[in-house]
Structures are given as C-alpha cells and as structure tokens.
Chains A and B, each alone.
Chain A
Amino acid sequence: MPDRCTEIARGSIVKMNISKKLSIIVLLTIIEVSITIGAACEIAKGATFQQLNVLHLKFNAQFSRKLVDIQNGARINPQSLTNVVTDVRQQPLDCLTLVNFLDEFIMKQIGTHYALGLCQSDIDVANSALIAIDRYAEGSIGRSALLTELQTAAEEFNANSAEFEPPIAKTVAFILKTLIPLIIFISIFNIAFITYLSRTISASIRNAIGMLQHSNSERDLGDDVEENISGELAELLTVARQRIRSDILNRELSTELELEVEKRTESLQIVNAELAEFAYRASHDLKAPLSSAKGLARFVSQDIDAGDLDEAKLNAQKICIQMEALEKLVVDILSLARADLGTDQKEPVDFKILIRDIKGRLYGQTEDASFAVIEDIEVSTPLVAEKTRLAQIIENLVSNAIKYRDAKKEKPFVIISVSDDSDSYSLTVQDNGIGIPEARRSEVFEMFKRFHPDVGAGTGLGLAIVKKHVDYLCGKIDFESSEDGTTFAVQIPK
C-alpha cells in the first residue's frame, strides 16, 4: 500500500514542528551552498593544473637550452644547473600538494590517476639529476657521466609534460560535466522542497485560523486543537486559550467584586440613612417629654406660690403622664433594638397562655365592659420561637385595636385568631375601630408614624416593632383597613 505509506510520510511532514521544518530548510541550503563552492574550487584547481603545466614546459625548455649549451662545450655551472632543475621539480610538487582525497578518488574512477604518477616520476627524475649535479660538483663523476644523466632527465621531463596535458583536461571536463548538473539538480530539489515546507507551514496556520473562525460553539476549543493541530501552533493555541480564559475569569471576578461592593455600599447607605432618621426621631421624642416635664415642674412651683393648688395638681399629673410616655418610649426603643438580636431561648409557644397574659396587661384599657376581646386559637403543632417576639407582635396589634377603637360603634371588639396549615402559621387581629387613613398606607410600619395624634398617647414605634419581629421570623405582614375597622394578618413560615 504505497499510497497509504506516502500519505503517512506526508502526514508526518505536515505534522512536523514548524521549527524542525525551518531547520531542514537551513540544512538544505547549507548543503547546496557548500557543494557549489566545492565545485567552483575543483574547477579552479583544474585551471591551476593547466597553468602549472605551462610553467613546467617553460622551465623544461630552459633546462634543454642549458644542456645544448653544455654539449656545445660551454662551461658547467653546477649552481645554475641546480636552480633550473629545482624550478622544473617545483610544479609537479605543487600539483601533488593541491590534489586531495576526493580528486584522487575521481581520477581513479575516470582513469586519469596516472597523471599523478607522471608528477611523481618527474620529481624522482629531478631528484636524481640534482644528486648527479652534486656529485659532479664534488668531483666524484666526470663531465660526460653528468651529461648523460642530464640528457635522460631532459628526455623524461619532455615526455611526461606531453603526457600530463590530456588526463588533466579530461578530469576538468569530467568535473564540469558532472558537478554542474548535480548543482542544478540539488537547487531544483531545494527550491521544490522548501516551497513544499513553506506551503505546509502556511497551510497549518491557515487551518488554525479557519478552525478558530468557524469554531462550533458546542465543541470545546481544546478538543478542536488537539484533533486538528499539532506542534508549536497547537502549543500556541493552548497557551493563548489558557491566557484568554484566565483573563476573562479575572475580568468576571473583578466585575463581580465591583457589583458586590456596590450592593454592599448601597445597603450600608440605606442602613445609615435609617439609623440617622431613627436617631433624629428618637432624640426628638425623648427630649420632648423631658423638656415638657421641666417646664411643667416650673409652673407647679409658680402655681403653689400663687396658691393655685388645683392648677399645680393638674400640672403634676401632666408631669406624671410625660414620665410614663418617656418610660414607654425607652421600653419600645429597647424592644426595637432587641428585635434584631435574637438572644432569647426558643421554646414552644402556647398562644392561649400568651394571650391570657396580654389581656392581663391590657386590662386597664379594656375595663370598659362594652369592649370585647375574642380569641379563636386552633394550632395543631406548636410554634417554636422566642416567646417575647410573639408576645410583642400580638400585644402591639391588640393594644392598637383597643386604643383606636371607634366610640361611635355599638360594640367595639378585637378578634385574635391563630391557626396553622402544613407550611405556615397565620395570626390575624381584627377590630372594628376607626381605621387607618388609606393615604398613609405606605407609612404604617415606619418608625414614629402616628395617624391619630389626638387619640391617646403613643410612640409610633409599635407597628415598627411588630414588623421587625415578623421580618426576623421570615414572615409576612399585611393589613386591610376601612371605616369599618382594621385587620392585620401575619404569616409565619413553619
């Protein structure tokens, strides 16, 4: 299955890291450049060889001329002879040092290696000629022996020179013929391969972009990345995703925090305003009976001085009333403060006993035989709560019913009924009193609000206390009122 295999191979290239692809491109380029440089060097070397050969021929000619002169009877100058032979020997020496392993290998392959043998034989011939010249100078051989020696050397040199030319030319031609196509081939391959790699790089980037653009909101980006993208891009996307996610998280957290702070600040401001209002009203209402009592006391002594004892007595009674009002106010403020605390013991509440006690406390106000307090209590499971809360709720509602009774009605009454169902207790206090003006409906549970100032004394805290207790018990309170009377209904969850 070659197709599948190439597919896999291609797949493995496609999946390769971008940095690996880039290093392959760099490596290929280096190889290409070094082969090109190497070929250029080889070709230059071929030219050098040709030049050396030309030089060699020139020195050979010099040497031959000297030899002809000597044969014609010229005096032998060993020094100048040595110089000429050394010159002749120099070029084959240079040739051999220029040749490297690769050259030798190529020459052996194409059968031009013998050119190097020619160089070596030239060197050997030159060396033996030099030895003969030295021996002649020492006087160990004669003129004719030297001449024969030099004669053979000259012949060898000429023969070698003639033979040296063709193999070098052949080698250079070979190098030109093989390296240039090789270079061209490698370059074409390089260009193709680099193009392919860069295509795969840009394709994987485009692929990632496309995937991000059309990402299916139901699928997790992490899975998409894992399936479709690999290498550094996958890493990049994963890191970016984590970063973005944590950024979003941070932003969400900080907006959440801001909202929370705003909410808290708002509720604090409300509480603050309530507290300021309370302090204002409370101080007003606390100070009023005190300063009244002070003024009255002054008039009492004036009246006594003036002998008007009746007026003095009246004023003393007024002082008493002021003090009672003050006492009630302080007690009410304390109940209001305690309503928020919830420090008392919780116990099952017996409404019958509770209402009996309340009736006892309110007896002074219901003495009037015509005022009827009717109770209707039917509770299946007793309510477990702080008794004082329930007592204060009922007592305040009942005391209002009594206080705001309607003298015009024949039989003033209050009906207290308590019942329960599966999930709550309900308490209603119904009267046939003067009613609460509809216009003031929204203010009924506010502190210090009184709508019948001419009817008896009061602090205006009673219903505020009731509301606080009901809120504490997580219950609800509402009322209905008309000229026929008022009904307060309290619901307390079980």
Chain B
Amino acid sequence: MSLKIKVGMASCGLAAGARDVYQAIQKYLENSKLEADLASTACIGMCFAEPLVEIIDADNNSLTYGDIQPQEVETILNDYLEGKIHKDKVILSNIMEGSENENLKNQTRIVLRNCGRIDPESLQDYLENDGYKALEKALKEMERTQIIQEIKDSGLRGRGGAGFPTGLKWQFAYDTPGPKKYFICNADEGDPGAFMDRSVLEGDPHSIIEGMTIGAYAIGADEGYIYCRAEYPLAIKHLQKAIKDAKEAGYLGKNILGTDFNFNLHIKQGAGAFVCGEETALMASIEGERGMPRIRPPFPAQSGLWGKPTNINNVETLANVAWIILNGAQKYNKYGTEKSKGTKVFALAGKIKNSGLIEVPMGMPLKDVIYKVGGGMKTEKPFKGVQLGGPSGGCVPAELLDTIVDYDSITKTGAIMGSGGMVVMDEATCMVDVAKFFLNFTQNESCGKCTFCRVGTKRMLEILTRITEGKGTMEDLETLEELSENISQGSLCGLGQTAPNPVLTTLKYFREEYIAHIKDKRCPAGVCTALLKYEITPEKCVGCTACARVCPVEAISGEVKKPHKIDQDKCIKCGSCYDACKFDAITKS
C-alpha cells in the first residue's frame, strides 16, 4: 500500500503542536509495517481544527483528521491499517462525510489554491499544480501590453487595503520610461487580525514569485524586493528556499526560461514598524532610512525606490496574477460584483467557531461569511459586532450583517475592506475598550511626521481612557468627533487619515455603550476594570478566608467560617479574590 501522509506545518499548525504530531508519526512509521511518505504542507485555513493530518492512499482517497494529539497517532494509524476510520475526527474527505466538507464547498479558492495541499518547500509540487505555466505563457505567447490588458480586464483590485485597480497601476509603471524599474511585493502585513499574507507566503511562496516575475516583465523591471515583516520567520525561510530553487530552475535570475528577460529578486526583512506597510514608507525602509511616508505625488510609478519607477503590490494581489494569466480574465471576473471582481480571502478570528482563513467570491453577505462558512459563534454569548479592516477600519453591528462583502458596500458602513481581517466580537466585548485599543495602536505606530496624527491620536486615546475609567463627560463625545474630523483631514498618509475610523464607527453604532460608561459609570460588557464592582454573596460565602489572603490591599474582612465583605473604597479591582474563590461567592458587575 502506498500512502502519503501530510501534516499541516505552517506557523499556526506549529503553534498548535504540529511538530510533535509530525515526530510521533515519524516514529510510528519507523516501527511499523505501514509504508508511507511523510511530508509537511502549510495551512489549509482550518486553523481551529489544528493540528491537521491528511492521509492519501494510492487511489487518491483522502482523509483529513483534525485536532490530532501526538498520543493519538498510534491508535489512529493502527486502526487505519485495519480499515477503521475515526469518523468523529475526520474534517475533510473526498470519500466520506467530513465535518468541514460543507465549509470548503462554500469557498472558491484561487489565492489559496495550493495552500495546505502542496509542500511549500518543493518546487516539484508547485510545478505539478500548474506552477510557472502562466510565466511561460506570459513570456512566450503574450505582449507586455497584452498582459497588462488581461489584468485590467480581470478587474483585479489591490488587496493591500486601498483597492486600486492592479492593471491600471501596472500601466502607469509601464508608461514611465526608464532603463531601471523595480517591482516590490508588500509582505509587511501589519494589520492585527489579518494573516492571509503569511499563510500564502508560507504555503505557496512560488505563486508570489511567479506573480511578481510576470508583473516585472510586463512593466519592464529587472529587480524586485519582497519586504517581509520579521515576525514571520517561517515565511522568510520558505521564500528564501523558493527563490533559490526558482533561480536554479531558470524561473528567476538571468535569461528566464531562455528569453532575454532578467529578474533579480531580494528579500528585505522589516524591523517592526507598522507604518512601513505604507508604500512610500516601505521604500524608505528598503533604502535604509526611517520608515516615514513621503508626499505623493510623485507616485511610486513615476519615482519610487531610489527615485526609479516602481510598482508595488500586496501578497494576495500577486497570488491572483498567475491564475488570471493562465485561466483568462473572463474566468476571473465571472466571480464577484460589478466593481469588485474575483474572490477575497478573509481571516476569521475572535469569537468565531471556524477561526482561520477562507476565500469566497466578492459579494457574499457578511452573514453568510460568519455563519455559513465561519460556523457562527464560538461562545454562548450573542454576536455583537465584527471588526473589519483593522486600525483603519471599523466595527459593523449585527443589524448590518446583510451587507455584502465588496469594497464599496463595506466602505458605506464606515468600515473598510482593508486586508480582510475579521475579528468577531460577542457581548462580552466592550466597544469603547475596542476603540481605545485601536487608538492605542495607531498612537504607538504613528511615525510622528504630522501633528494631527502624532498629537491628535494621543488626545483621543486620553479621552477614551478617561471614559473607560468612568471619568468621561458627554462633551467628550463631541470632542472625539471633532478631533476625528481634524485628524483625517490633517494627516499625510493612510495611517492618520483612517485612525479615527474605529472610534467613529463605534460612536455611530454603539453610542449607548459610551453613554453607559459616562452617565451610569457602568461597562455593560464587564470589561473596563475601573468600573467593575466585586461583591461577596453572603449566602454562598463559607468564610474560608481564601479571598482575604490574596487581596493585595487588605480590602476584605471577616471572621473565619463567617461571610466576608469587600471594602469598596479600598478595592483596586484587581480580581484576585474573584479568581481565588472556590465557591463562586464573588460576583463581578
């Protein structure tokens, strides 16, 4: 019996313990009559069920087991040998019902076509899945303008946030004359809550190289950079290997595929600055400077890296390119809505059941993304809102769940599509706290060039902090709105311009929650510590003194075996007593 066993070993898989599972299988294979090729793959997107193990037999019958622990490996494989399948563990399969078969059926995978299926470190695997065929077609059968036209016709828009039409961008770079041009891939993915770029870089690095090489050929660039954040060591490792392999096989470097086209590709590691995701700041960073945005125009297409015409695209954008060239624009623009074509990858996280990556056609209602593909809520508590677009985006409330996902519809809600991060929140999330969280983020990450972004965000953060401490006033809300207006008007780059969005959307959709903090000194979600009140229910308290012993400020008094009491004036709301009580006698409100 010839078997193939694949373990999902992207950083998410590894974080869930995939390496131990891999080793357990390795050990098992050494001592068993089961003969199988053990390989690693990346992330198929079902992170909630990780670690994942797929077994494929000689007839291509596949079973993917989810949530595998190292100690289960032996039983599962022994039973497999005897033809017994642990049905409750099967999440995906082409021969039987798997718990997530339906989930995958609701998706359309273009960007993620290879993720979690191929071995990302194997060029051979990529080639067997149509790899570099698009490059061959582009170089040998298409004019450069034809390639650009194809991308234009596909309707592909930039997935890095702004949604600018990719074909048009390429046209600008093509139109600028010059012997030296650059092609950059933006892999800085700083938006907290988004991880599709990481997944594609780790899981299908050659698709990015292929997309870039096609683009570079089209605009006339002979040198390129992938700017990858340093927090993604595995992505960098896979990229390095892929670049080396592609070069040796003639898909990169000099005289690509025997033509006279040369393209040299380098990796640049970021050094931890969110603003470097902004294109002009990113180029400053490659040049070895502080990553501060520059005034546009001139746009990168005219004067970019080292003053040369430059094109910059996001990872997900580039992952679409080879597919479009190979399958044609018509096939791509069949998916999506009038102004947003194709598919979009979303990173589902927070209080959602199927946290992970999904790819769906543009135009799917948010409701279906969250409940159909995402499996609905993970917690008992009801849905409250979903944060889209990270620090530049906003929170969309339950009543707007019929909104479809495309650039224009999401922008109408006050949020943005951004990079496609969706953080789902339930009733236990405080929206004022969320707004404060994002302002803290932008305030930290502001490069400091513009006064409104540098100082304004700080003022907003101070106001929000005050509100969460129960010290806010109703005028504060107006000040917040006024500051928001000024900051978005008076900032140079997207970071400042969109920094107020999380505050504006929460003010718009969850205003009563702000008012509860201000007027009633109450945090309805029970998150804001300063507004919490810890109390002991006398009927439940057995007087074990556990709480009194852990209280750091001696706010709890009472005799042994008699109900205790918390002195509210002394209490610093640290929650130690709440955690220490074994009798549920302490309430938090």
Tell whether A and B belong to one assembly. no
A contact residues vs B (CB 8 Å cutoff): none
B contact residues vs A (CB 8 Å cutoff): none
